[in-house]
Amino acid sequence: MAIPAIMGTEIEYGIIVKNDPTFDPISSCVLLVNAYREDPEGLILWDYDQENPLADARGFQVDGEKYTPNQQENIARNKTLINGARYYVDHAHPEYSCPEVTNARDLVLHEKAGERVMEISRREATALLPEGALMLLHKNNSDRKGNSYGSHENHLMDRRTSFKRIVEHLLPFFVTRQVFCGAGKVGSENRGSRCDYQISQRADFFETEVALDTMVKRPIINTRDEPHADREKYRRLHMIVGDSNMSEYTIYLRSGVTALVLAMIEDGAIDQDLVLRDPVRSIKEVSHDPSLKHELQLDNGKRMTAVEMQTAFLEMALTYAARNSLDEVTRDVLEKWQEVMALLSTDPMKLSDRIDWVAKKALIEGFMERRSLDWQDPKVHMLDLQYHDTRPDKGLYYTLERQGRVERICTDEEINQAIYTPPSDTRAFFRGECLRRYPGEVFGVNWDSISFGIGDDPVKRIMMNEPLKGTEVHVADLLNKSKSAKELLANMG
């Protein structure tokens, strides 16, 4: 039986400062992250000792040196938040990694809370800039100068599941799932064939099927083997193939369907041969065909459209659901997946209230028709970018949301609460509550550990290798009777 779902996302945001001729992305990112002053002291370290980004899931260690910043740089670039998230500078982008969650609805909640955190930071950082300068953030995936930044998804799997089997089934799934989780994009990039509009922002940037790197020779399946949990028990799939989504419905479907397919892979429930002849070519062909009519070449000689392939995954999922007990959220995801696939097969534009690439396409085509513009007009490219603007009063997705033109999964009240509240059913609860209750005594944090520095005593590290321990049920009483970290450690024995 598949292990319980544990998932999360890491979203890199595009950043620019208007009216600043000396704009430097790295220093602007540092300003942005430090403008978010949840921890007044700001002295908590990110524990890089617990990381190993050079381990490859294919069973070897890649040559290279692990980057570890000095203490001053560490503090300047990293914030661990009381909701269990990590907010930090990754290369030349601000990145928000949401806390671990157990279901797709909570993932929507905490990814959207990340958008609110970014906007709070942006406003605070802009106030510190010279007069006339304005910091802007976009939750998108390319700068139109050949650079792409990621929306990374993380799902835990059973370590015993063959990585070869995971790759075999995930390649056709990833290549074709963009039909319901693409963010949409005007034009092409990275030497891609010319097109007016495509489904995915990331598709043009993939150059190989399987590899460890995330920026050079970017792979559809990333092989980083860094579970941030018990290594003997868990494998963390670090997925870099997806787009950054604005639509709550799209995020919900993307994460929920992916979690379901991974459970099916673990349980051996994928019984159709959907192996593609050329996945790298296919991922671009699917993206460049919003009509959804293009047929992909399979290794067995058959040809199928992306919608037909996703429908095949759906049919296997329905069989799997009939034989297994699914939780309420997964049942809802499955129902919505059926509805979406039915409309993608008949009239995709009816999904303009749910799916990002369709919503954006409808918005832009309406604008083009009113203004008599074509796809090459700079105003059209600007509209594409503005869909992803994180400012609630300027971003076009938020405009659709205010007008009630998009279907939502969560309420504003729930999202605002998630900015300051960790999930209750994962170890993120213990991490977030320790940061809230004992900020002056926390020395360092990682996903699977938290360290305390108390007086002159040696730093004490608590390991958290089990993502489903440290929950509210497990530790609320312990925390409530521990008025300090010193008492917490004593009470833990």
Nearest to 170 by CA among 237, 94, 225: 237
Rounded distance between C-alpha atoms, residue 7 and residue 108, angstroms: 11
Rounded distance between C-alpha atoms, residue 290 and residue 239, angstroms: 23
267 part of the active site? no
CB 7 within 8 A of CB 153: yes
Residue in 39, 49, 90, 196 annotated catalytic: 90
- Vertex 340: Cα angle to 219 and 383 (nearest 5): 65
Helix (H), strand (E), coil (C) string for 51-113: CCCCEECCCEECCCCCCCCCHHHHHHHEEECCCCCEEEEECCEEEEECCCECCHHHHHHHHHH
Nearest to 261 by CA among 104, 385, 149: 104
Rounded distance between C-alpha atoms, residue 283 and residue 109, angstroms: 29
Provide the pairing of β-strand 295-297 with 234-239: unpaired
Rounded distance between C-alpha atoms, residue 450 and residue 477, angstroms: 19
Tokens of 351: 């999904």
The residues assigned a catalytic role are 90
